Every structure is written in C-alpha cells, then in structure tokens.
Structure 1
Amino acid sequence: MKRIILAVIFGVASLSSISTKAQINLSINIGSQPQWGPSGYDHVEYYYLPDIEAYYNVPAKQYYYQDNGRWIHTSSLPARYRSYDLYRGYKVVMNSPKPYLSHNNNVKQYSKYKGNNGKQIAIRDSKKNSNDRNHSSYANGRAQRPEVKRNDDRNSGNNNQKGNRRG
C-alpha cells in the first residue's frame, strides 16, 4: 500500500513539474501585437495580408513584401500600399517560421480572404465598446491611426495615419 501511495505522489509531482515547465516555455506576445491586428490571439509570429500579398513579423516589427521577385523587409510598407487600411484588411495569423517562403501555397489557400474588409475585430477596437464606432479614432467610418500562421484562418491588420505608416 505504501508503494502505491508513493507511486501516486511521485506521479503527481512529475506531472506538476511538467506542467510548470510548459507554463514557463509558453510564449505570449499580446502586448507586442500591433493595434490593427485581429483580437483573440495570445501569440502571433506573422500576419499574412492577402489583399496586398505581404507579411508582418510581429516580434521584429517588420513587413515582408516582394519587389522585383525578391523578398524585402522594412519597418513600413512601400508607397504603393499607401491606401491600404491595415485596420480593415483581413489578416491571417501564421505561427510558422518564414511563412513568406511558402508564399505560393499561402496565396492559394488564403486568396478567399481578399476583400474581406472589416470582417475582423482589431485589437484596438476590441478594447472599446463594440457598439461605439463614433470614438475619436474614426472619421467617416475609417480609422485614422493604424498600428501570422498557426496554419489556420485567423487574421491580421493595417496601419494608416494620414499617409504615415508605422509597424
């Protein structure tokens, strides 16, 4: 009987140790996600932006887009995306390393989300009363200020502040 009790105690202690390790290794980056990112994710590596076929690396705060067949990474989107609204554009969460290297597959898989503007709630907007769209950051129904792939269909965001792009 004592052996059984000791085995149970040892088993519980082992599970407790494993649980503690799992909690320590869990990475949460809620505070580092841009305000234009979709709400509901505790960890995001990349957002894929199907409307412009670009990516945003959350930890590095860098956009990845193609220019003449090469992948460029910068802290802001190029001028050709000046009118793109990160708050309204659909974003796919991607928690895999360098998802842009699988770009052709991502385009095929997520092209159905092109033009799905306003279908996601941005982090910024989830912190406010969802019925109040008249707060000061909106004008004429558009956001004035803007702020990856777990292989699922979750979203990402946009960054427009009167032509000023931030990442």
Structure 2
Amino acid sequence: MKKTMLSLLTCICLLGAITTETKAQVSVNVNIGTWNPPAEYADASYYYLPDVNSYYYVPTHQYIYLNGGNWVWRNTLPPQYRYYNINDGYKVAMYRPRPYRYYADDRVRYARYKGVKNVIVRDNYYTTVVKPGRGPKDKWRGGPDFKPGRGPKGGFGPGR
C-alpha cells in the first residue's frame, strides 16, 4: 500500500511538472540617474550647459531649452544631444531666478567653454569674497586671541 501511494504521488508530481509551463524573466536596468551638484554648489538651482546651449533645473531634474522659439522644460534633451553626458559636460552655476531670460548674454559669455570637461564655474554676481586675515574672526579684530594691548593698532597700541 505504501509503495502504491508513493508511486502514485511520484506520477502526479511528474505529470504536474511536465504540464506546467515554466516562466523566467530577467530584467536588467542601466540607469545613469539624475545629476546632483557638488556640495559647494548645492545652493544653485540652475546650471547653464554651454555644450548644449541649455539650462538644467536641479529641484525637478529637468533641462530647459529653446524649442521653436519657446522655452520648454523636459526630462531629457532633444534628440540631437542624446549622447550628451551631464556628468562630463561643463556646467556654470547660476544664482539668479529664471536665468534663461539672460540666454543671449550667457551664450556669448560662456561660449568658450564648449567642449571643456567637467568643471563648474560659479556665477559669483551675488557672492562676496573674503580674503584670509580680513574676516570677523581675525585675531586683530576681536578673534579668540584679542586682548587690549596686543597687536599693532588693533589692540590699542604696540603690545608688550
């Protein structure tokens, strides 16, 4: 009886294996992903890309370019730039709202950077440059070593 049940169970399993269709699916995704700016330029919302005469808007990861005389916002560049890699291209950080309004100026100003690799130029129109030794933490201007009577003129005399 055991032998009969075992052989019957084996036959049912074999029959089920033969009639059942096996499906296997292999999926491979190659995704370059979206570009994120380096930390020192993280506060810039727009980047001008001289290689493709377009802008890149970081918050939505979209390209802004002229299409038939109108500015369009797209997730990809137009077909003529399908081989452009934003990671290798030259990028200019823009610190002004809607920089595409100044496209004519930007195109002329940054035309010499076409074809140059992976450098970001900071548009420092609104940036203040502080030279070393001139800031508020300078030891002659109230820094941690500031004491009256120390240093030339900043501490009330030549010091001791």
The normalised TM-score by structure 1 is 0.49
Partner of 1:66: 66
| CA RMSD after TM alignment | 2.3
Are 2:45 and 1:45 equivalent residues in the alignment?
yes
Contact kept? 1:90, 1:116, Cα under 8 Å? yes
**Matched residue, 1:54:** 54
Structure 2 Cα separation of the partners of residues 149 and 55 of structure 1 = 14
Preserved CA contact (<8 Å) 1:96 1:150 = no
The whole-number CA distance in structure 2 between the counterparts of 1:118 and 1:87 is 7
Larger radius of gyration: 2
Q: CA deviation at 1:119?
A: 4.0
Aligned residues: 92
Deviation of 1:99 after TM superposition, in Å, equals 0.4
Q: Could you list the per-position Cα deviations for residues 78-137 of structure 1 after superposition, in whole angstroms to 9, with x for gaps in the alignment?
A: 2221111111110000010110111000011111211112445xxxxxxxxxxxxxxxxx
Question: Structure 1 residues 98, 84: closer, same or farther in 2, change over 3 A?
Answer: same
Match of 1:113 in 2: 113
Q: Could you list the runs of 5+ residues in structure 1 that have no partner in the other structure?
A: 1-33, 121-147, 153-167
Q: CA deviation at 1:36?
A: 5.4
Runs of 5+ unmatched residues, structure 2: 1-33, 127-160
Instruction: Give how far 1:37 is off.
Output: 3.3
Counterparts in 2 of 1:38 and 1:88: CA distance versus 1, 3 Å: farther
- Separation of aligned partners in 2, 1:39 and 1:114: 24
Distance change in 2, residues 1:36/1:80 (3 Å):
farther
TM, length-normalised to structure 2: 0.51
Counterpart contact for 1:36–1:86, Cα < 8 Å: no
Q: Indicate the structure with greater helix content.
A: 1
Using the alignment, how far apart are the partners of 1:52 and 1:104 within structure 2? 14
- What one-letter code is carried by the residue in structure 1 that aligns with 2:96? S
Going from structure 1 to structure 2, the CA distance change for 1:44 and 1:75 (only over 3 Å counts) comes to: same
* Runs of 4+ off more than 6 Å: none
What does 1:130-145 correspond to in 2, within 5 Å? none
Identical counterparts, % of pairs: 37
What are the superposed Cα offsets for residues 127-165 of structure 1, whole Å, 9 maximum, x if unpaired?
xxxxxxxxxxxxxxxxxxxxx85548xxxxxxxxxxxxx
Q: 1:48 to 1:96 in 2, by over 3 A?
A: same
